[in-house]
Amino acid sequence: MSRLLLRAVLGVAAIALMPAGVPAQTQAQGQAASCDAACLTGLANRTMDAMVRHDPKGLPWAKRVGYAENGTKLRVGEGSWVTIDRRAEAPLVVADPQTGRVVWVGRVDDHGQPGFYAMDMRVVGGRIAAVQAVIRRKQGRPPFGDPVAYAPGKAFSAALPAKARLPRGKMIALVEGYFASVAANGEGAVVPFVRGCAAMENGVAMAGNLPAAKGADASCEGVLTRGLFGEFEAVRHEVIAVDEARGLVAAIGYRDLPAAQMSFPARDGTVYPPEAGYPRSVGFVSLFKIESGKIARIETVANEVPYLMPAPFNPPAAKDVVIADTGVFPESASADGAGNLYIGSFKGNIYRALPGSGTAIAWIRPDATNKLASVLGVLADEKSGTLWACSVPMGQAGQVSALVAFDLASGAFRQRYELPPPASACNDLAFDKDGTAYIAETTNGRIFTLKPGADAVALLVEDKAQLVGVDGIAFGGDGTLYVNNVRQNSMLRVNRKADGSFASLTKLNVSQPLNGPDGLRPLGGNRFLQAEGPGGRISLLTIEGDDVTMTVLKDGMDGVPGVTTIGDTAYAIESKGRFLFDQSLKGQDPGAFALRAVPLGGIR
């Protein structure tokens, strides 16, 4: 079928879709209902069969489709749809119903010429919403092995015994740790590898960014220990699919190589050359085999693209939101479904930024009715149309901490719920599915509840040993309640009885040391975003049983007590609290206060 006829018949444009254009929870529920692993695998194979036939008709395309090859957006039916006439009969396929992503890796032939092909497909509601492929053909720079003869061993795709499997969050953390180590050229945290782990690229054993001279040079651990990734300026990546039963994780991304220098010293004293003497990027799809908590093998399909080639379906970068006021010292943030941002502050004002705006202005101010003091927690509850705020009278004798309710649309005062003595600090809150508010009270180690229609809060639990310092609070998708402790650098599960009453506290095992954990926001399922004030960072938390896998998303900020999300962007509050509490900085200008936009990419 000719290109012109394909255009006329299909009329399917390559629209730049975001990697997660559907909200995480909706997308995950849609996948679970309509496309399991077998369904995803079938769609990937059907698409490759259609490509061999040069005819994309008959496939379940979504209303809007993004399609790209080697980073370039095309129309469905163009590019490899015209040239590929054969595909692997036994490809490597990683299907993940949780993300709606399926990765297909194998050999293809263009007019009889074999090459390596890796496809990332995103499926929404049983329909193909986006496809991007990394294709490595014979022409071009090394590495390039023999697509006909090369295939990973059967063990790579075989199911693992139960004792060798890891929970999903820990698998992702291992892969994230690997990419972080590559980006740092082997510095930082040690990544665990199975003895004999090798990294293969386009069928060739690699020693860093160069083909290995001998088998031992391709050691996954050895290339990091020696520091053989000095040529990389950055590694942009996204984990897209996980198969726990087989121990497989798939990631897609780009390596950026600026060619700014022509030699690189390794830590073993040797000097190695760059792979090429000109600036370029390399698009890749990598599959990781993980066994018993260690990376056992890495299989990659990669192809050179222009330097700093953007990912084809990336949304425009979100902008920071600046608060148009002085002396603010923001503390907490929340967002509603329309994209409004609400920000609490030590100044006592609640600020709002309208959807798409880069500026937040004072929206609710303290007055004799609402009696707002420092606002340490805010939460938008669209179900009741209420904006909730935790008011704390910092250093104001005789004043009482309270949970204060405002109309979400107008900001009008509704009601004030004072916390009982002794002097307390309403810090943050979360809502159960039945509409009950759960309030973290930091000073005395208490958690209160406020049921719908109630006129006063009720004590759920007080524990001076484990809860003094309780701060962030959030529910998981299964209704489990979690809290963190800003003073004790800990995280706890609040166990409740069937009637909702308190049962016990369980201290969780966090994969990294905490440094002042503060704001905690759910991302859906068992995943959360956490802010750390003194740590100046936000992290992704994945909770599995009593274990918390923590992945830092952004650090180096000037105090981060709170975080919230709008779509695929996290907004981290940069509080600059040191200018408020450090006596040596009193009176100095902290500059503008802002919420820093942090892209979440495939996390959502």
Residue pLDDT, tens place only, 559-592: 999 999 998 899 999 999 899 888 898 889 999 9
The structural domains of the chain, ordered by start, are: 1-136 (3.10.450.50), 321-603 (2.120.10.30)
CA dihedral 229, 234, 238, 239 (to 10 degrees): 20
Instruction: Annotate 478-502 with DSSP letters as a single string.
Output: TS-EEEEETTTTEEEEEEE-TTS-E
Distance of alpha carbon 155 from alpha carbon 153, whole angstroms = 5
User: What is the pLDDT confidence band of residue 221, given thresholds at 50, 70 and 90?
Assistant: very high
Of 102-116, 183-197, 313-327, 396-410, give the range with the top mean pLDDT. 102-116
- The pTM is what? 0.72
CA distance 254 to 238: 10
Q: Is residue 30 scored above 50 in pLDDT?
A: no
Does the pLDDT of residue 3 top 80, yes or no? no
pLDDT more than 70, % of the chain: 93
Mean pLDDT across the chain: 91
Question: Residue 505: pLDDT above 90?
Answer: yes
Confidence of residue 596 (pLDDT cuts 50, 70, 90): very high
> What is the predicted pLDDT for the residue at 603?
54
- Residues 542, 548: contact at Cβ < 8 Å? yes
What is the pLDDT at residue 459?
98
N-to-C CA span, the chain: 38
Q: What is the pLDDT of residue 602?
A: 55
C-alpha span between 556 and 562 (Å, rounded): 15
The mean pLDDT value for 376-388 works out to: 96
Residue 216 has pLDDT above 90, yes or no: no
Q: Is 15 exposed, middle or buried (0-12, 13-18, 19+ CB in 10 A)?
A: middle
329 vs 8, more confident: 329
Which one has a higher pLDDT value, 380 or 149?
380
Range in 40-49, 206-215, 352-361, 505-514 the model is least confident about:
206-215
DSSP label of 219: B
pLDDT for the residue numbered 530: 98
CA 436/CA 496 separation, integer angstroms: 14
Per-residue confidence at 10, pLDDT binned at 50, 70, 90? very low
pLDDT of residue 388: 98
Across 103-117, 162-176, 238-252, least confident range: 162-176
pLDDT over 60 at 108, yes or no: yes
Note the pLDDT of residue 394. Answer: 82
Q: Which pLDDT does position 398 carry in this prediction?
A: 74
What pLDDT shows up at residue 111?
Answer: 94
* Predicted pLDDT at 4: 36
Exposed (0-12), middle (13-18) or buried (19+): which is 201, by Cβ within 10 Å?
A: buried
431-477 confidence digits (pLDDT tens):
999 999 999 999 999 999 999 999 999 999 999 999 999 999 999 99
